C-alpha cells in the first residue's frame, strides 16, 4: 500500500504558488528523500501531509485515508519532526518526554529511556528544555518520534543543527528504522546522506515535482564509461561495445563514446577494444553522485544557456 499519496496538491499564498499540482507517491517501506532548493515547497508539502495547513487544491492520502477526513486514523501512525520542536521550556527533557508518552494513545511505545538512548541524550536529559542547545532540542524531538514508534516518520531536515557525530547517529537510526520496515519521508539538503540512506527521492523545484525515482536508477542512468578515440573508429567501437552483455547502450559524439554500463567495467572495455585491435586514447569512468544529478536537475536552464 502507499504510505503517502498526493494528487494535484497545490498551495497558494496570495500571489505565490508555493506548491503546484504535486503528485507524489511514497510506498510503504520506502526511505524517501524529499529534495529541493530553499523555498521549493518541501516544508509546505510536509505541513499539508500532516494537516497542519489546508491545500488550495488537491488531496493527500496517508495509508489510504484522506488526511483531511481521517486525521484520527492517520495521525497516531505518524511520528514527525519539524522546524523548532515545541516542548515545555520549564520542564526537563526527560519530564517533557514522560509527559509526551503519557499523552500517547494506548499501544506499543518505546520507553523514554530507550528513546533518550537512541539519540544519545540520557546524560543531559535532566536539564531544563530552555537550557538545551539547538542540537539537543532536535535530538529530543527525534526521541519523541522514536518513542511513539509510528509506522511512518516524517522528518523535515532531521540532521539540521546536529554536530557530525549526531548526524551519523541519526543516519544510522534512520537506516535501522528502514530495516525494521518503517516508512520514512525526510527532507534534506545533505545529498551524500540522502544517497546513503534513501531508496527513493522526489525533487521539488519552484513548487513542482520535477523528478521522482529510485536512487539507484537515477545514478545508474547517468553513470557509465566514456571512451575517447579517433573519430573514424567510433563506429567500430560502438559495434564492438554494443555486443557486450553488460552494456545497455552506446552514444557517440565526435571522438567520445558514452557507454551506458556499470562503471567497474571500464578496464574490461579497454581490454576488449585492445583485443579487437582498436586504439583508444582514454577510457574513463563517469561516476555520478546524487549531488551532481540534483544540481543538473535543478539548475536554471536560462542561466545555463547564456
Ligand X SMILES: Nc1ncnc2c1ncn2[C@@H]1O[C@H](COP(=O)(O)OP(=O)(O)OP(=O)(O)O)[C@@H](O)[C@H]1O
Instruction: Write out the residues near ligand X by the rule CB under 6 A.
Output: 13, 16, 18, 36, 38-44
User: By CB under 5 A, which span of 42-50, 88-96, 108-116, 288-296 interacts with Mg ion?
Assistant: 42-50
Return d(Cα 249, Cα 266) in angstroms, integer.
14
Identify which of 165, 175, 188 has the alpha carbon closest to the alpha carbon of residue 294.
Answer: 188
Closest contact distance (angstroms) between CB of 239 and ligand X is: 47
User: By CB under 5 A, which span of 28-36, 41-49, 177-185, 264-272 interacts with Mg ion?
Assistant: 41-49
18 binds, among Mg ion, ligand X, none (CB under 5 to 8 A by kind): ligand X
150 binds, among ligand X, Mg ion, none (CB under 5 to 8 A by kind): none
**CB within 8 A of 149, min separation 6: which ones?**
79, 107, 108, 109, 110
Q: Which is closer to ligand X, CB of 38 or CB of 253?
A: 38
Return d(Cα 257, Cα 90) in angstroms, integer.
65
List the one residue from 10, 21, 27, 43 that touches Mg ion (CB under 5 A): 43
Q: Which is closer to ligand X, CB of 50 or CB of 261?
A: 50
Identify which of 188, 195, 123 has the alpha carbon closest to the alpha carbon of residue 154.
Answer: 188
**CB within 8 A of 190, min separation 6: which ones?**
159, 167
Identify which of 288, 298, 268, 295 has the alpha carbon closest to the alpha carbon of residue 221.
Answer: 288
Identify which of 196, 229, 224, 217 has the alpha carbon closest to the alpha carbon of residue 284.
Answer: 224
Closest contact distance (angstroms) between CB of 42 and Mg ion is: 5
202 binds, among ligand X, Mg ion, none (CB under 5 to 8 A by kind): none
**CB within 8 A of 302, min separation 6: which ones?**
none
Q: Which is closer to Mg ion, CB of 109 or CB of 167?
A: 167
13 binds, among ligand X, Mg ion, none (CB under 5 to 8 A by kind): ligand X
Closest contact distance (angstroms) between CB of 125 and Mg ion is: 28
Write out the three cell numbers for 31. Answer: 526511505
Where are the extended beta strands (E) located within 44-114? Answer: 57-62, 65-66, 78-81
Q: Which is closer to ligand X, CB of 156 or CB of 260?
A: 156
Return d(Cα 257, Cα 233) in angstroms, integer.
10
44 binds, among ligand X, Mg ion, none (CB under 5 to 8 A by kind): ligand X
Q: Which is closer to ligand X, CB of 205 or CB of 265?
A: 205
Return d(Cα 22, Cα 43) in angstroms, integer.
13
With H, G, I as helix, E, B as strand and everything else as coil, classify residue 221: helix
Closest contact distance (angstroms) between CB of 293 and ligand X is: 18
Write out the three cell numbers for 124. Answer: 543531559
> Which position's Cβ is nearest Mg ion?
43
Closest contact distance (angstroms) between CB of 128 and ligand X is: 28
Closest contact distance (angstroms) between CB of 203 and ligand X is: 11
Q: Which is closer to ligand X, CB of 115 or CB of 207?
A: 207
26 binds, among Mg ion, ligand X, none (CB under 5 to 8 A by kind): none
160 binds Mg ion (CB under 5 A): no
Return d(Cα 132, Cα 130) in angstroms, integer.
6
Contact set with Mg ion (CB under 5 A): 42-43
Amino acid at each position: 500500500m502507499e504510505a503517502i499519496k498526493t494528487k494535484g496538491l497545490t498551495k497558494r499564498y496570495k500571489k505565490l504558488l508555493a506548491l503546484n499540482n504535486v503528485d507524489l507517491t511514497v510506498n510503504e517501506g520506502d526511505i524517501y528523500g524529499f529534495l529541493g532548493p530553499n523555498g521549493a515547497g518541501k516544508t509546505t508539502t510536509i505541513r499539508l501531509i500532516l494537516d497542519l495547513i489546508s491545500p488550495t487544491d488537491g488531496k493527500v492520502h496517508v495509508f489510504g485515508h484522506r488526511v483531511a477526513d481521517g486525521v484520527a486514523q492517520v495521525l497516531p501512525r505518524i511520528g514527525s519532526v519539524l522546524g523548532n520542536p515545541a516542548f515545555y521550556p520549564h520542564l526537563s527533557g526527560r519530564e517533557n518526554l514522560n509527559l509526551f508518552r503519557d499523552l500517547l494513545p494506548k499501544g506499543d511505545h518505546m520507553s523514554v529511556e530507550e528513546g533518550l538512548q537512541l539519540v544519545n541524550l540520557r546524560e543531559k536529559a535532566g536539564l531544563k528544555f530552555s537550557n538545551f542547545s539547538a542540537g539537543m532540542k532536535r535530538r529530543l524531538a527525534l526521541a519523541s518520534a522514536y518513542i511513539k514508534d509510528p509506522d511512518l516518520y516524517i522528518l523535515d531536515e532531521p540532521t539540521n543543527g546536529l554536530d557530525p557525530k549526531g548526524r551519523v547517529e541519526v543516519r544510522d537510526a534512520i537506516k535501522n528504522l528502514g530495516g525494521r520496515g518503517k516508512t520514512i519521508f525526510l527532507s534534506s539538503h545533505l545529498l551524500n546522506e540522502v544517497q546513503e540512506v534513501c531508496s527513493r527521492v522526489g525533487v521539488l523545484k519552484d513548487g513542482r515535482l520535477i523528478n521522482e525515482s529510485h536512487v539507484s536508477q537515477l545514478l545508474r542512468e547517468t553513470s557509465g564509461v566514456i571512451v575517447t578515440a579517433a573519430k573514424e573508429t567510433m563506429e567500430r567501437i560502438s559495434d564492438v561495445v554494443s555486443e557486450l552483455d553488460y552494456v545497455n547502450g552506446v552514444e557517440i559524439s565526435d571522438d567520445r563514446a558514452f557507454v551506458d554500463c556499470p562503471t567497474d567495467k571500464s578496464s574490461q572495455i579497454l581490454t576488449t577494444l585492445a583485443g579487437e585491435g582498436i586504439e583508444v586514447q582514454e577510457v574513463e569512468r563517469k561516476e555520478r553522485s546524487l549531488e551532481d544529478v540534483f544540481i543538473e536537475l535543478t539548475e536554471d536552464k536560462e542561466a545555463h544557456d547564456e
